[in-house]
C-alpha cells in the first residue's frame, strides 16, 4: 500500500463558525493508494474524537497501526488497490494540523488555550479546501464513525455536489444530553488537574496528565458496554507482575489505568476540550431551527447509515433518526443495524457483515 504523509499549508485561511478566523492553517494529511487519472476514486475518511490522520498501516516498526487499519488497506473493505484514501488530522487536534500545540503565526507563540473553538462544519470546510488542493472535485465516498460520522453527514449537507456517497457510522445528527454530560465529566477532570493552569500549562512546562488520564478512563467505559466488559475481563484479578498501579485489583482496572496512562502521554488537554466541545456542539439541524428535514433535503449523495446494537453512546435509534429524516425528504439512504462486539468502538473493527456492506455500498451504482 502506497502511503504518503504530508503537512499541507493553506494560506487562504478559514472563517470559523464561531466568527473567529484562521488567517493561515496547516493540515496533516495521510493518503493511501493512488488517485486515478479521472480523479474519481478518492475516499475521504474522517476521524473520531481522539483519532488523527494516521488511519491505516504503519510507516515504521515503532509506529502503531492506523485507527481504521482493519477497514482500510489492500483487499480490505475500503480497498486501497482500488481507491485513493485520504485522512487529515482535524483542526484543533494535536497530531500536526493547526491546533493548540502549533505556533500562532500572528504572535509567534504557541496557541495553547487560545486556539479558537472549531466545529464539525469548520472541519468539513477545511477538508473541502483540502479536496480542492488535491484536485478532487467529487469524492467517491466520505465516511467516518462517531465524530467522524458527523463530518460525513455534514459533508453531504454542506457540499451536496462534491460527494457520491456518505458512510455514516455509529453516530447521530447531534450529541445527546447524556453525551454532553459524559464529556463534561472528562473536561472537569482536566480542568481540576492542578497542572492545567487554566489551559496555560504549556507556558509552565507541565502537563495535566492526571486529568487527561481520568477523562480517558471514563471515555473507555462509554466506548465499551456492560456485556463486553463482562466478557473481556469478567471479575478476573490482575496478576501481580503486570499491575500498573499498586491499588489495582481487577483486570478491568489495570486495563483502564493502562489506556488512560498511554493516552495522557500523547494527547493534548486543550485539544481534548476543543474536540469534545465540537462534538457536543454539533447539531445538523441548527441552521434550520431544528428541522433536520430542511437541511437534509439538500443532500444528493447516497447514504449508508450503520448502527451497532451494543453501542450505548450513539445507539442504533440515533442512526434510525438519520434514516427517517432522509426518507422523509426522498434522500437515498440505507440503514443497517449490526451486532457490534465492541460497543461504540464497533465501527473500528472489520466484522464480516460490516465489511461486505461497506464493499457492496462502494461497488453499487
Partner 1 sequence: MNTSLTNIIKKWVPEKSKVIDFGCGDGSLLKDLIDEKNIRGYGVEIDHNKIQECILKGISVIEKDIDEGIQDFESCNFDVAVMASSIQCLKEPHLALRKMLKLSKQCIVTLPNLGFWKCRLDLAQGRMPVTPNLPSSWYETKNLHLCTIKDFETLCFEEGFIINERFFLNDKGAKSAMASAFPNTFASEGIYLIAKK
Using CB under 8 A as the criterion, which residues of the chain lie in contact with partner 1 when the complex forms?
Answer: 302, 304, 320, 323-324, 327-328, 330, 332-337, 353, 356-357, 360-361, 363-365
Question: How far is residue 23's CA from residue 192's CA, in Å, rounded to a whole number?
Answer: 32
Residue 198 vs 363, nearer CB to partner 1 = 363
Q: What is the DSSP letter of 45?
A: E
Residue 360 C-beta: closest distance to partner 1, Å: 4
Q: What is the largest CA-CA distance in the chain?
A: 59
Which candidate in 50, 344, 345, 346 is catalytic?
344
Residue 116 vs 315, nearer CB to partner 1 = 315
Q: 358 and 167 in contact (C-beta within 8 Å)?
A: yes
To the query of whether residue 61 is one of the catalytic residues in this protein, the response is no
User: 154 to each of 127, 189, 252, 271, 329, how far by Cα in Å?
Assistant: 11, 30, 36, 21, 16
Residue 338 C-beta: closest distance to partner 1, Å: 9
Residue 179 vs 323, nearer CB to partner 1 = 323
Which candidate in 26, 122, 280, 311 is catalytic?
311
Nearest residue to 152 (alpha-carbon basis) of 179, 133, 172, 180: 172
The helix/strand/coil state of 305 is: strand
Nearest residue to 158 (alpha-carbon basis) of 208, 120, 196: 120
Residue 116 vs 307, nearer CB to partner 1 = 307
Residue 115 vs 314, nearer CB to partner 1 = 314
Other residues' Cβ atoms within 10 Å of the Cβ of residue 363: 9
According to DSSP, the β-strands at 163-169 and 139-145 are parallel
Q: 325 and 292 in contact (C-beta within 8 Å)?
A: yes
Residue 356 C-beta: closest distance to partner 1, Å: 6
Residue 259 vs 320, nearer CB to partner 1 = 320
Residue 287 C-beta: closest distance to partner 1, Å: 21
To the query of whether residue 311 is one of the catalytic residues in this protein, the response is yes
Q: 90 and 123 in contact (C-beta within 8 Å)?
A: yes
Q: How many CA atoms lie within 13 A of 258 on its CB side?
A: 10
Q: 128 and 152 in contact (C-beta within 8 Å)?
A: no
Nearest residue to 229 (alpha-carbon basis) of 240, 241, 213, 217: 217
According to DSSP, the β-strands at 84-88 and 25-32 are antiparallel
Residue 168 C-beta: closest distance to partner 1, Å: 13
Residue 302 C-beta: closest distance to partner 1, Å: 7
Q: Looking at the annotation, which residues are catalytic?
A: 146, 311, 344
Amino acid at each position: 500500500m502506497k502511503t504518503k504523509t504530508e503537512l499541507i499549508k493553506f494560506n487562504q485561511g478559514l472563517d470559523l463558525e464561531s466568527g473567529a478566523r484562521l488567517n493561515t492553517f496547516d493540515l496533516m494529511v495521510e493518503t493511501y493508494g493512488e488517485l486515478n487519472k479521472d480523479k474519481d476514486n478518492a475516499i475521504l475518511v474522517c476521524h473520531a474524537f481522539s483519532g488523527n490522520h494516521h488511519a491505516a498501516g504503519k510507516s515504521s516498526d515503532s509506529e502503531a497501526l492506523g485507527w481504521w487499519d482493519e477497514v482500510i488497506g489492500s483487499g480490505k473493505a475500503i480497498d486501497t488497490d482500488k481507491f485513493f484514501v485520504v485522512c487529515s488530522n482535524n483542526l484543533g487536534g494535536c497530531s500536526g494540523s493547526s491546533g493548540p500545540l502549533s505556533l500562532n503565526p500572528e504572535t509567534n507563540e504557541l496557541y495553547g488555550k487560545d486556539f479558537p473553538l472549531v466545529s464539525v462544519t469548520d472541519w468539513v470546510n477545511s477538508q473541502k479546501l483540502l479536496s480542492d488542493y488535491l484536485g478532487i472535485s467529487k469524492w467517491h465516498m466520505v465516511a467516518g464513525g462517531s465524530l467522524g460520522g458527523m463530518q460525513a453527514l455534514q459533508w453531504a449537507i454542506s457540499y451536496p455536489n462534491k460527494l457520491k456517497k456518505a458512510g455514516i457510522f455509529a453516530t447521530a445528527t447531534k450529541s445527546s444530553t447524556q453525551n454532553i454530560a459524559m464529556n463534561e465529566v472528562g473536561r472537569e477532570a482536566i480542568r481540576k488537574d492542578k497542572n492545567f493552569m487554566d489551559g496555560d500549562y504549556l507556558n509552565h512546562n507541565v502537563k495535566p496528565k492526571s486529568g487527561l488520564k481520568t477523562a480517558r478512563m471514563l471515555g473507555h467505559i462509554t466506548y465499551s458496554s456492560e456485556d463486553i466488559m463482562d466478557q473481556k475481563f469478567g471479575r478476573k484479578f490482575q496478576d501481580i507482575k503486570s499491575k500498573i498501579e499498586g491499588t489495582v485489583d481487577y483486570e478491568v482496572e489495570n486495563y483502564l489505568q493502562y489506556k488512560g496512562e498511554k493516552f495522557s502521554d500523547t494527547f493534548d488537554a486543550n485539544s481534548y476540550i476543543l474536540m469534545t466541545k465540537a462534538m457536543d456542539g454539533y447539531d445538523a439541524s441548527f441552521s434550520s431551527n431544528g428541522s433536520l428535514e430542511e437541511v437534509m433535503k439538500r443532500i444528493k449523495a447516497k447514504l449508508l447509515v450503520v448502527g451497532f446494537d451494543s453501542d450505548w453512546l450513539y445507539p442504533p435509534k440515533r442512526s434510525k433518526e438519520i434514516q427517517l429524516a432522509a426518507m422523509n425528504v426522498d434522500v437515498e439512504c440505507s440503514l443497517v443495524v449490526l451486532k457490534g462486539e465492541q460497543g461504540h468502538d464497533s465501527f473500528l473493527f472489520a466484522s464480516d457483515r460490516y465489511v461486505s456492506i461497506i464493499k457492496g455500498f462502494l461497488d453499487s451504482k
